[in-house]
Amino acid sequence: MKRAFITGITGQDGGYLAELLLEKGYEVYALYRRSSNQRFGRVEGILNKIHLIEGDLTDDASLINAIEVSKPDEVYNLAAQSFVGVSWKEPIFTAEVNALGVTRLLESIRLKKSDARFYQASTSELFGLVQEVPQKGTTPFHPRSPYGVAKLYGYWITVNYRESYKMFSCNGILFNHESPKRGIKFVTRKISKAVAEIYRGEREFLSLGNLDAKRDWGYAGDYVKAMWLMLQQEEPDDFVIASGETHTVREFVEKAFKVVNIEIAWKGKGVNEEK
């Protein structure tokens, strides 16, 4: 039976990936951070099927211990301070987790289980100020936030461990992917939650920023399959994963209100639109 170790188990992707790996017959180990208000809502249904290991990407010893305990064939590093906005308020912490955290984990693997295959959750935010459309593996990076810059470090250290230590380490450069498990701070959930509340008569309007911002949105359940497939290849490599379609935030709002048959009354000029 193959063994997998996942960081970020309490996050959106962690939940979907753990379900997928269990379905495939893996023994699943997962890192979680202790908190005063422990939240395992996204993995409630499978909590008794996975082995939880306490630790933190900022703590070297906890990662070494986690690799020793789990003895993984595959490691999926999904843990991150994942919100771009927060990275401006907490740039040092973001770098600790999203940049140095990757080195800590790679070092733990190199020292304790160097044949383990490694997946790093890289991001389309590496492209930031886009240099060409569509972006692909050869497009130059130009991140535009502390989140993107920290993830760029994570990307390159993953490439370096592959090239220098011959470790099977891969980057998945994923565009946005959403689901009912998506964090509530992200625009898709902000919209879907507000639409549900307006439908139930619990609130009157929704305020949003740039309605013309375009995003490539995929489904998280599909994207975790891509993560798994990357680690099943004969040779390690980096891959860009996207749906190939972009839509505006405005379109998303229109579709969401259509689902509950509510006609939108737009107000404002796109900075503080109201329903």
Active site members: 123, 125, 147
Binding-site member from 78, 95, 116, 149 for ligand NAP (CB under 6 A)? 78
**Does residue 94 touch ligand NAP according to CB under 6 A?**
no
Q: What is the C-alpha to C-alpha distance for residues 211 and 240, in angstroms, rounded to an integer?
A: 26
The closest residue (CB) to ligand NAP is 11
160 touches ligand NAP (CB under 6 A):
no
- Contact status, residue 253 vs residue 208, Cβ threshold 8 Å: yes
Distance, in Å, from the CA atom of 121 to the CA atom of 150, rounded to the nearest integer, reads: 12
Position 80 contacts ligand NAP (CB under 6 A): yes
Do residues 157 and 206 make contact, with C-beta atoms less than 8 angstroms apart? Answer: no
Quick check: helix, strand or coil at residue 185?
coil
User: Contacting ligand NAP (CB under 6 A), which of 64, 97, 126, 208?
Assistant: 97
By CB under 6 A, tell whether 57 contacts ligand NAP.
yes
Q: Which is nearer to ligand NAP, 8 or 236 (CB)?
A: 8
How far is the C-alpha of 12 from the C-alpha of 42, rounded, in Å?
7
Give the chain's length: 275
The answer to whether 159 contacts ligand NAP (rule: CB under 6 A) is: no
CA angle 42, 46, 52 (to 5 degrees): 85
Q: Is 183 helix (H, G, I), strand (E, B) or coil?
A: coil
Q: Is 158 in the site for ligand NAP (CB under 6 A)?
A: no
Least gap, CB of 21 to ligand NAP (angstroms): 15
Cβ proximity to ligand NAP, 58 vs 270, nearer residue:
58
Per rule CB under 6 A, is residue 58 in the interface with ligand NAP? yes
Query: Is residue 28 within the footprint of ligand NAP (CB under 6 A)?
Result: no
By CB under 6 A, tell whether 33 contacts ligand NAP: yes
Q: What is the three-state SS of 197-250?
A: HHHCCCCCCCCECCCCCEECCEEHHHHHHHHHHHCCCCCCCCEEECCCCCEEHH
In the bound state with ligand NAP, the residue whose beta carbon lies nearer, of 12 and 158, is 12
Stretch binding ligand NAP (CB under 6 A), from 84-92, 174-182, 257-265, 267-275: 174-182
Q: Does residue number 12 form part of the binding site for ligand NAP (CB under 6 A)?
A: yes
**Residue of 182, 185, 188 whose CA lies nearest to 252:** 188
Minimum separation from the CB atom of position 135 to ligand NAP (A): 13
Give the separation between CA 93 and CA 228, rounded to whole angstroms: 28
| Residues near ligand NAP (CB under 6 A) | 7-14, 31, 33, 35, 56-58, 78-82, 97, 121, 123, 174, 176-177, 183
